[in-house]
A and B are shown apart, each in its own frame.
Chain A
Amino acid sequence: MKSIPVTILAILSGIVVLAGFFFPGTMLSVFRIYALELAIILAAFASLIAIANLIIVHWNKIFSEPRQSFYSAILLAGFLCIFFAGIIFTPANTFFSKFSATVIFTVESSLLALLCLSLAVACFKLFQKRKSGLAVVFGISTIIFLLTFSGFFSTAIQFSWLKPFLAIINSLPLAGARGILLGISIGAIVTGLRVLIGADRPYSG
């Protein structure tokens, strides 16, 4: 019962956006822009709260968990270093941007590279647990698209039939991908409608 006004607020804000789209040039479209702007600001502030919460958790960890305190201290050191550098010198500062880019992109790229090694092992074990027809289709598909996406056959111009064959092969995942996209869209529509009719209230948690 307590969340009824909040639910009404959620429904109203959704309806304003929808109405602004269907009735352009009216006051509803103006309200729609304001609602969107408000949502952007609030989402950003929510992100900031999430960051603050993360920092508080690690700050508490330093004092509560001695084993994890070193890593939490490293995390806090990195955060404070970047945060104060950015706040004081603005994001245009070279140190800020370089240090951020170096750490973030290096670690992210390295993690993805690490994933590559894990995927190599996974490819070897592809048929260890799964021996069904789907696994066979999956394995064959993987091999074929590794070849096509990497341009393995693009250098073999001597085979005239290769071009239409590659075109057909490239179209094969289209059916499944379209089905998946349609499914995702239907799911998103249903979920959105449930929120707009008040059946789902993820905001009242």
Chain B
Amino acid sequence: MAQIALIVAKTMKNMKICPLCKKENLEDAAICINCGFDLNPSFSADQPDQPDWLESFRNDPESNVRDSLTSDPNSSGLDSSSEDSPDWLARVRERKHVDEEFEAIQDNHNLQNPVLPNSKGTNELIDSFRNNSLSTSAENAGADDLIDRLRNAEDDNYSSEISAESGLSNKISSEDAADLTIDDDWISRFSQIENSSSEEPQKVIPKNRGSIPAWIQQQAADRTPGTTEDSPENPVAEWIEKYGTRDEPAPESGDESKIPDWIQPLDDEDTGDLENGEEEGFPAWLADKDSLPPASMETGGQSQPDWIDEINQQTVDEDQPAPEEILPDWITEDSSEDSSEQVSTVLAKKDIEESEVKKTQSKAPLKTTMGLDENVGKKAGKIESDRSEGIAKPPFQLDQVPSWLENNEDLINTSFFEDKETKEAFVPDSTNQIEPGELPAWLKAMRPLEAIIPAISRLTENKHIERSGPLAGLKGVLSSQDSNQTYSPPPMYTSTLNITEKEMNQAAILDQLFTEDVDIQTKHNPIVDIGAFIIRLIIPILLVGLLVFSSLTQTGLIERPILFPSETVRFASIINGLILNSEAAPQILVVMESEGASQAELEILTRSVFERLMLKDSALSIISSTPNGTLLGENLIQTAAVKHPGYDLDKRVTNLGYLPGGSSGIQGFLLDNSETIYPSAIDEVPDSFSNFSAVLMITDNAESAKLWIEQITLHRPQTVMLVAAAAQSVPMLMPYLESNQIDGMEAGLYGAASYAQLIQNEDSSLWSFWNMQKTGVSVFILLIIAGGLWYLAQFLLKSKLPKSR
């Protein structure tokens, strides 16, 4: 485990950890790759004022790390003397001193400032530190290194409150912690130190106080506990007391679930170490630490909150196991679940406070206490989070800034969240006995403002940075998270409709309509299906059977038409005129407007006509505005030419082709038909449309015929227009016939039979069809009448039945 930790530490050595998003960056990175945070904040204005020690410290971070790791081989030795005490041990002692100092300050502060409702968002800051236990503990370890340097080199520009009883000097002042956050190289070193130190507890040998450096002892001698108001470290004391007076801890995110996995085993191991330590009895140094009652507690215990009193009481009785009934419920419940509870409730409580203090020191959550403090601190955080669960806090708030940072005028004037309570909490209390101290210029320059104040947040529009999962490190990718945080319950709407009576009636009618439809489909479907199937089967069989019977039983007696339609008479006379009156062979434009469905009817219609025209060796040019028209026209002419073998189809019949474009194509053809000439028969085609003797339109489509008639009327009104139309197009062509736009028409089988009668043409198939058609028409008429009577009877029966009932 230690080896793994060492590997991790070495790996981390060359990495920078962003203080904002806690992500690893390369050592030489200027800004964080995840959030863009400036990893090397420049304070050029104050740069020249930096002391030499800091300059050297920044210039040679690697060597410092190496020093902390390897230069002190005695630190891990069991027989190490007090002078050679390792950093971690010195730090533990310092922590103890800080703890005592904190209590003293807290007591003092509570006397003057009763509980202030402040620190909204403080815990977020703590959470941010807890979330990155690696970096924070590393910073803490690095702080020890800094302390060593400070011991050796620095003047008395700053000092921390030292408890006389403990004899330990707390070199980790808040200023130092702030410094640590600025220098990114520290972070990499911290990680190494933290990992190396995390495996130290088992090897810890309590050191006596003789290991305290002389300068610290001197400082301790100069000061007595409880006189913090005279301390030059007032800023430190102030922000510590601010957190100490929190009456309502905010939720902390530093629970175990947010600890990186790679840390978790270490914590567990540390806990195990702790348990072992408890079984074997605490080391003397630890017991000594715990047994030291802070002087400040005695002086300032009257006005502090109850929970602090309880803690203090526990601290007094620290040698004995703490009864659970003394503790608040929120502590006991949580601690009962924790394995670290076995160590000592007193120790745990102290560490709870300690961890809060250390975390609010922005960079030193004291990981160097070999996981004990860390673990307990996490539990404490969990406890607090349990207490204040559900309170949503913004990620950064101004009141998170320690008071030593608060000294900045710009920062004070900036209101980011407009939290009056928070501001009030930061207003220097004139009655406070602890006067705010003046920070040295170099320290002002080093303050990690960017890490604390929400400047980045302003720039990045407070976008959330993902900390885990595949999107870790990305900013603002889950937009719903923001809306989640600002979630408000949806507006309530009434579910009743405000409708008028008229609308209600209309809706009822609509509903009734649909209901009726459904009833018809569901109730009567089977009956309708059977009946419809029978009808659908019987009627066609009847029709087909009768037609087949009519076809097979052809008798010689066929009633031929005697009365002829007037249009057919005109049609026949014009055809006769074309044949008889002109010397040259007539040139007929055959317009085929049919897709071929009425092929049988059109064949009957045109056969006599084409045969008549072929007698005179007429030139036939076929054109169509439907793609299949020309094919049908050729077929019809070929069929008619069977009886006239002398008629040269290749020479006299020209396929002018298909005319696309509907009315545009027709108009284009009428204006200049030379463009549409089929090349193979160009000699047989007139130069222009006007040279055609007549237009014979063969159609079963009234719409297509209408286009031709319109365009011919428009451009060539003098053209002789003959129409051989299938019956289905006749009704819509009748108006054109009445308006003389059509000169003659042969309509349907009746027209074909009339024309055949007029020209005395014998066509057996025509009369066969004529006979069958009569049969078919009779069947249709009977069906209509029968159907009418059937449903009339049904209607009458239905109308009578309700009356009888």
Tell me whether A173 is interfacial, beta carbon within 8 Å.
yes
Pick from A36, A119, A126, A162 the residue with the most CB of B within 10 Å.
Answer: A36
**Contact among A33, A111, A174 with B738 in the assembled complex (CB-CB below 8 Å):** A174
Tell me whether A194 is interfacial, beta carbon within 8 Å.
no
Once the chains are docked, how many angstroms separate the CA of A125 from the CA of B786?
9
User: A120 to chain B: which residues have CB within 8 Å?
Assistant: 539-540, 543, 779-780, 783
User: A43 to chain B: which residues have CB within 8 Å?
Assistant: 660-662, 664-665
User: B750 to chain A: which residues have CB within 8 Å?
Assistant: 149-151, 154
User: A117 to chain B: which residues have CB within 8 Å?
Assistant: 539-540, 543-544
Once the chains are docked, how many angstroms separate the CA of A149 from the CA of B733?
14
Tell me whether B432 is interfacial, beta carbon within 8 Å.
no
Tell me whether A4 is interfacial, beta carbon within 8 Å.
no
Q: Are the CB atoms of A139 and B784 closer together than 8 Å? A: yes
Q: Are the CB atoms of B539 and A121 closer together than 8 Å? A: yes
User: A26 to chain B: which residues have CB within 8 Å?
Assistant: none
User: A131 to chain B: which residues have CB within 8 Å?
Assistant: 791, 795
Q: Are the CB atoms of B667 and A124 closer together than 8 Å? A: no
Once the chains are docked, how many angstroms separate the CA of A104 from the CA of B535?
30
Tell me whether B212 is interfacial, beta carbon within 8 Å.
no
**Contact among B706, B777, B784 with A152 in the assembled complex (CB-CB below 8 Å):** B777
Tell me whether B71 is interfacial, beta carbon within 8 Å.
no
Q: Are the CB atoms of A126 and B659 closer together than 8 Å? A: no
User: A97 to chain B: which residues have CB within 8 Å?
Assistant: 631, 634
Tell me whether B26 is interfacial, beta carbon within 8 Å.
no
Tell me whether A95 is interfacial, beta carbon within 8 Å.
no
Tell me whether A65 is interfacial, beta carbon within 8 Å.
no
Tell me whether B111 is interfacial, beta carbon within 8 Å.
no
What are the interface flags for A125-143 relative to B under an 8 Å C-beta threshold, 1 for contact and 0 otherwise?
1111001000000010011
Q: Are the CB atoms of A37 and B660 closer together than 8 Å? A: no
**Contact among B535, B599, B732, B779 with A180 in the assembled complex (CB-CB below 8 Å):** B732
Once the chains are docked, how many angstroms separate the CA of A43 from the CA of B665?
9
What are the interface flags for A69-99 relative to B under an 8 Å C-beta threshold, 1 for contact and 0 otherwise?
0000000000000000000000010000100
**In the complex, what residue of chain B is closest to A176 when comparing beta carbons?**
B731
Q: Are the CB atoms of A40 and B668 closer together than 8 Å? A: yes
Q: Are the CB atoms of A101 and B539 closer together than 8 Å? A: no
Interface residues on A, range: 35 or more
Which B residues from 560 to 603 make CB contacts under 8 A with A? 560-565, 595-600
User: A199 to chain B: which residues have CB within 8 Å?
Assistant: none
User: B536 to chain A: which residues have CB within 8 Å?
Assistant: 121
Q: Are the CB atoms of B635 and A105 closer together than 8 Å? A: yes
**Contact among A33, A121, A147, A166 with B671 in the assembled complex (CB-CB below 8 Å):** A33
State the Cβ distance, A167 to closest chain B Cβ, in Å: 8
Q: Are the CB atoms of B786 and A124 closer together than 8 Å? A: yes
Tell me whether B628 is interfacial, beta carbon within 8 Å.
yes
Question: Contacts A149-B750, A151-B749 known; A124 to B784 CB distance under 8 Å?
Answer: yes
Which B residues from 653 to 672 make CB contacts under 8 A with A? 659-662, 664-665, 667-668, 671-672
Tell me whether A49 is interfacial, beta carbon within 8 Å.
no
**Contact among A39, A109, A150 with B661 in the assembled complex (CB-CB below 8 Å):** A39
Once the chains are docked, how many angstroms separate the CA of A38 from the CA of B730?
33
Tell me whether B680 is interfacial, beta carbon within 8 Å.
yes
User: A23 to chain B: which residues have CB within 8 Å?
Assistant: none
State the Cβ distance, B423 to closest chain A Cβ, in Å: 54
Q: Are the CB atoms of A174 and B596 closer together than 8 Å? A: no
Question: Contacts A43-B664, A127-B791, A152-B777 known; A112 to B784 CB distance under 8 Å?
Answer: no
Tell me whether A123 is interfacial, beta carbon within 8 Å.
yes
Once the chains are docked, how many angstroms separate the CA of A109 from the CA of B596?
7
Once the chains are docked, how many angstroms separate the CA of A157 from the CA of B561?
9
Once the chains are docked, how many angstroms separate the CA of A119 from the CA of B540?
9
What are the interface flags for B604-641 relative to A under an 8 Å C-beta threshold, 1 for contact and 0 otherwise?
00000000000000000000000010011011000000
What are the interface flags for B766-805 relative to A under an 8 Å C-beta threshold, 1 for contact and 0 otherwise?
0000100110110111011111101110010000000000
Q: Are the CB atoms of B784 and A126 closer together than 8 Å? A: yes
User: B634 to chain A: which residues have CB within 8 Å?
Assistant: 97
Tell me whether A53 is interfacial, beta carbon within 8 Å.
no
State the Cβ distance, B599 to closest chain A Cβ, in Å: 5
Tell me whether A178 is interfacial, beta carbon within 8 Å.
yes
Which A residues from 11 to 32 make CB contacts under 8 A with B? 32
User: B727 to chain A: which residues have CB within 8 Å?
Assistant: 149
Q: Are the CB atoms of B783 and A33 closer together than 8 Å? A: no
Tell me whether A200 is interfacial, beta carbon within 8 Å.
no
**Contact among B600, B632, B735, B795 with A178 in the assembled complex (CB-CB below 8 Å):** B735
Question: Contacts A33-B668, A36-B667, A131-B795 known; A121 to B662 CB distance under 8 Å?
Answer: no
Tell me whether A190 is interfacial, beta carbon within 8 Å.
no
Q: Are the CB atoms of A109 and B660 closer together than 8 Å? A: no
Q: Are the CB atoms of A40 and B563 closer together than 8 Å? A: no
**Contact among A119, A147, A151, A177 with B561 in the assembled complex (CB-CB below 8 Å):** A151
Tell me whether B559 is interfacial, beta carbon within 8 Å.
yes
Once the chains are docked, how many angstroms separate the CA of A147 from the CA of B773?
11
**Contact among A111, A126, A170, A178 with B787 in the assembled complex (CB-CB below 8 Å):** A126
Q: Are the CB atoms of B781 and A143 closer together than 8 Å? A: yes
Pick from B536, B596, B785 the residue with the most CB of A within 10 Å.
Answer: B596
Q: Are the CB atoms of A125 and B667 closer together than 8 Å? A: no
User: A121 to chain B: which residues have CB within 8 Å?
Assistant: 535-536, 539-540
Q: Are the CB atoms of B559 and A101 closer together than 8 Å? A: no
Tell me whether A204 is interfacial, beta carbon within 8 Å.
no
User: B187 to chain A: which residues have CB within 8 Å?
Assistant: none
Tell me whether A63 is interfacial, beta carbon within 8 Å.
no
Once the chains are docked, how many angstroms separate the CA of A153 from the CA of B770?
13
**In the complex, what residue of chain B is closest to A108 when comparing beta carbons?**
B597
User: A153 to chain B: which residues have CB within 8 Å?
Assistant: 563
**In the complex, what residue of chain A is closest to B662 when comparing beta carbons?**
A43
Question: Contacts A151-B561, A152-B774 known; A174 to B734 CB distance under 8 Å?
Answer: yes
Q: Are the CB atoms of B560 and A123 closer together than 8 Å? A: no
Question: Contacts A97-B634, A111-B597 known; A123 to B675 CB distance under 8 Å?
Answer: no
Once the chains are docked, how many angstroms separate the CA of A124 from the CA of B777?
13
State the Cβ distance, A199 to closest chain B Cβ, in Å: 20
User: A151 to chain B: which residues have CB within 8 Å?
Assistant: 561, 563, 749-750, 753-754, 770
Which B residues from 666 to 716 make CB contacts under 8 A with A? 667-668, 671-672, 675, 680, 706
Q: Are the CB atoms of B596 and A108 closer together than 8 Å? A: yes
User: B781 to chain A: which residues have CB within 8 Å?
Assistant: 143, 146-147
**In the complex, what residue of chain B is closest to A142 when comparing beta carbons?**
B784
List 26 A–B pairs whose Cβ atoms lie within 8 Å, in order of A's numbering.
A37-B675, A104-B595, A104-B596, A105-B628, A105-B632, A117-B544, A120-B779, A121-B535, A123-B780, A125-B791, A128-B787, A143-B781, A143-B784, A147-B777, A147-B781, A149-B727, A150-B749, A151-B754, A151-B770, A152-B774, A152-B777, A157-B563, A177-B731, A177-B735, A178-B738, A180-B732
Q: List residues of chain A with CB under 8 Å of any chain B CB.
A: 32-33, 36-37, 39-40, 43-44, 47, 92, 97, 100-101, 104-105, 108-109, 111-112, 116-117, 119-121, 123-128, 131, 139, 142-143, 145-147, 149-155, 157, 162-163, 166, 170, 173-174, 177-178, 180-181
Nearest 10 CB-CB pairs, A to B?
A: A151-B750, A154-B561, A36-B668, A124-B787, A43-B661, A117-B540, A44-B660, A108-B597, A155-B559, A105-B596
List 11 other contacts, CB 8 Å, given A36-B665, A131-B791, A181-B735.
A33-B668, A104-B631, A108-B596, A109-B597, A109-B600, A120-B780, A123-B787, A124-B787, A143-B781, A147-B777, A154-B754
